[in-house]
Chain A
Amino acid sequence: MSYGTDSDSDKEFIAQAMPAFISEAAEQIEAIETLLLELEEQPDNRDLLDSLFRCAHTVKGSAGIFGLNRVVEFTHHVETLLDKMRDGDIALKPDISTLLLQCNDQIKFLVDTAADESADTPEQKDTRADLVIQLRAHTEGPEPAVVGSAAPTAALGATGATVATGPCVWSISARFGMETFRNGMDPLSIARYLSGMGRVVSVRSGVDTVPALVNLNPESCYLSFAMELETAATREDIEGAFSFVLDDCQFDVVAPETQDRKLARAIEEMPETPRLGAMLVSVGAVSQDKLDQVLSTQQQTRGMPSVGKPKLGDLLEAQAGVAPEVVAAAVAKQQKLRDNAPSEERYIRVQADRLDAVINLLGELVIAGAGATLLARATHHVSLIEANLQMNGLIEEIRNGTLGLRMVPVGETFSRFRRVVRDTASSLGKEVNFEIVGGDAELDKSMVEKIADPLMHLVRNSLDHGLETPQERLAAGKSRAGHLTLSARHETGAILIRIDDDGRGINRERVLQRAWNRGLVEQGVVPSDNDINMLIFEPGFSTAEQVTNLSGRGVGMDVVRRNIEALRGSIRLNSHPGVGLQVDIRLPLTLAIIDGFLVGVGASKFVLPLESVVEVIEAADQHTLVDASGRHVLELRGAILPVVRLRTLYTIESSPPDRVSVVVVNSPRGKFGIEVDVLLGQHQTVVKPLGSLFKSLRGISGSSILGSGEVALILDVESLGALVTAEQQSAASRAELPLGTPVVQQVKAIASV
């Protein structure tokens, strides 16, 4: 149904608007998938079905505007099936759900390749044709009322057409393409044909689209019309009138609206209407007199227990003849008001690049602000210092607000996995109850995008290797269906994403055997349980035996870990053989700017994430003790606190002061202390990535430029915690750099370049 246009401005507009269409269509397609999966669980939820239909209709309508015929034609078939479902003719069964999900994949393909017709290979066309056949089998096959020759529509020339239950008024609009006449077609014939189908309530042609006579090429067609047609014919009959002009006409056939549906819609569109009766009176569903009568009947039941007391809606249906659909709409409206449902949220669409540019500038502003603060302090001018403080406060507010713009709920990404879980479990013959928890936890959008693939791999891995088949589960005394939970929650300046299954867990014996065989672990050496678990992330661990078409899609577990670590994140496994596996992924909330706590050791500066700081204590340098395993420790309120010495860890060449400070921090491995020379206070920290040379540097997650131009290193509390709680803090745990080269000096050199 393409509509030809020779207007350059139209083409320019379409070219400009196409990316926005593709982006919005992608959102609708994602919503269709989510809604379908939700509808599988709640097949009677009318709202879900309506939303599903609206999404498909929106994709089709928008695609029509852009002349994307393949999308329009295919989505039309999908829409027809959904319409039948809305009419109650077809119920959502698993086979239909699967079909609709496959159709949605096809719509996604068509939208993604909108600008490239060559991508539509013969295989894709065959797939699409097959889907259409399946859709039509559902929409046309079981129809109970097939019209024979004596049916009303037979006289209109429609063959084998189905009829609606009675005449109703359809809105038909058509705009013909310029080639219509030249292709031997005539809009007048189509209008005539339509009028033969029933009673034309109104028809109007526009002259605005027709050029003035002096500019008119009479062989080009510029006609359009809008018709209200009262007919018993079906949508298929009406659309059949356009079957010979599909390539030359943009048309729309809008389903008739029954009187009851009109009333229900009027109620839905009401802004604020508090009482059921008043709502129904205001839309004319019932007269005030009749309502009064019904209310009086209800009054007589006062004193009855609420259980047996008739509801006003029931009485209105029974005594005033108000249609159940109308009452239901009014009750739904009331419920919505009661729930204090938020009014429609307003959004504006902003290009991510523009937002990134603002955030980059903001980073520079934070650094410049810190520099200005230092200069202001040096002047000892109180008013200047105060003005500077005020400015920094505002910068902080702008920072928080701006970074917040990039935060999106992780649930949007999580919900994509419903389909993966469904299809994967189905192909493996497994049964899975999949649960998403904490989907509203927010994370930087760029992080969400980058974490999606590793998560997908881990979820597939749990399904493929973790969860057992129903038979295996029953034999192991477990429920037939496995449980897989994907959860997210905020935890001290980071987000913790957890994939939890109740499958077989990691078989450590097999993992260790494979590691020995592959030379990843020296033959006969048995590492700790945790280290054995983590071997699955070693490059080269995956074997052909493990790689299936599900989890082994060319991305090994080593790549998963590398991707997570590239985001300054970490991954931990908690496996209980026979009981299940918990995969914890910890990610920083943002990659841009954090609230930090600046400390100094010698001439070097370090930043700790402020959220991790619990308290600061002062200690004489000699007060830290060394325990039996060689760790420095401190006694704090009767408990032993491990302490990491940055001076020792990073070979910082300076004399320790007489008294040092110990910053007590919280890490997932527990509390520990970090011994520093000086405390320099809170500091807005613009995170700069470390160069590749320093990627392996343990305990450091990034660097930052201070207002003075100095470089500070950002400490990674979790990996420092791992160092400090290790049994032996050996030289091997230090930075993997050339011996004798102080680490901090090297980082400074790189960052300054």
Chain B
Amino acid sequence: MRAPFDLPADLRIYSAIDTRDALLAWVAEEASAGHDYLQISARDVEEVDGSGLQLLAALSNMETPWHLVETSEPFAQACRHMGFAYWLDKRYLKTQAGDSAS
């Protein structure tokens, strides 16, 4: 089974550059493995701000589509507040938080 990319617990401006670099490296690996979509897990995210959400918005503008497969409540709340609730797609989510997403 493929392993998703695990977003860090602190998804804020303080770690944004590191997260972007890690995410980019992982995206390159996935592309070389021939995967036609990416899986992201926000299960561990405890703190998030606009810059963290912006990383995923930027990921949306890469060639390979991505899905959120796991989420934490803080991350899901942030998505709802900021207008990214459509990332919380129940078809791909495995966690309770995703069930509450509409």
Contacts and interface: CB of A to CB of B under 8 A. Distances in A.
Contacts of B54: 210, 216, 218, 221-223
Interface in B50-91: 50-51, 53-55, 57-62, 78, 80-85
A192 B81 contact: yes
A212 B50 contact: no
A554 to B, nearest CB: 58
Contact of B61 (A180, A207, A221, A227): A207
Nearest to B19: A218
B28 to A, nearest CB: 9
Contact of B20 (A189, A204, A216): A216
Contacts of B93: none
B27 interface: yes
Given A213-B24, A223-B57, A218 B83 contact: no
A205 B58 contact: no
A192 B50 CA distance: 11
A248 to B, nearest CB: 12
Per DSSP, chain A at the interface is: mixed
B62 to A, nearest CB: 5
Given A191-B82, A203-B82, A221 B58 contact: no
A186 B49 contact: yes
Contacts of B85: 203
A188 B50 contact: yes
Interface in A184-213: 186-189, 191-192, 195, 203-205, 207, 210-213
B58 A195 contact: no
B16 interface: yes
B42 interface: no
Contacts of B53: 188, 205, 223
B45 interface: no
Contacts of B49: 186, 188-189
Interface in A220-237: 221-223, 225-227
Contacts of B60: 207, 210
A213 B16 contact: no
A181 B81 CA distance: 18
B58 A188 contact: no
A219 interface: yes
A221 B54 CA distance: 8
Contacts, number: 92
Contact of A181 (B48, B51, B57, B80): B51
A181 B50 contact: yes
Contact of A218 (B20, B80, B81): B20
B9 interface: no
Contacts of A189: 49-50
A192 B48 CA distance: 12
Contacts of A195: 81
Contact of A225 (B13, B48, B58, B83): B83
B23 interface: yes
Contacts of A219: 13, 16-17, 51
A210 B81 CA distance: 18
A289 to B, nearest CB: 38
Nearest to A208: B61
Interface string B20-55: 100110010000000000000000000011110111
A187 B54 CA distance: 10
A189 B77 CA distance: 12
A639 interface: no
A213 B62 CA distance: 7
Interface of B: 13, 16-17, 19-20, 23-24, 27, 48-51, 53-55, 57-62, 78, 80-85
Given A188-B81, A207-B58, A218-B17, 7 more contacts: A180-B50, A188-B78, A205-B84, A210-B54, A212-B58, A216-B55, A223-B54
11 contacts: A186-B51, A188-B53, A191-B83, A203-B80, A211-B58, A213-B58, A218-B20, A221-B54, A222-B57, A225-B83, A227-B83
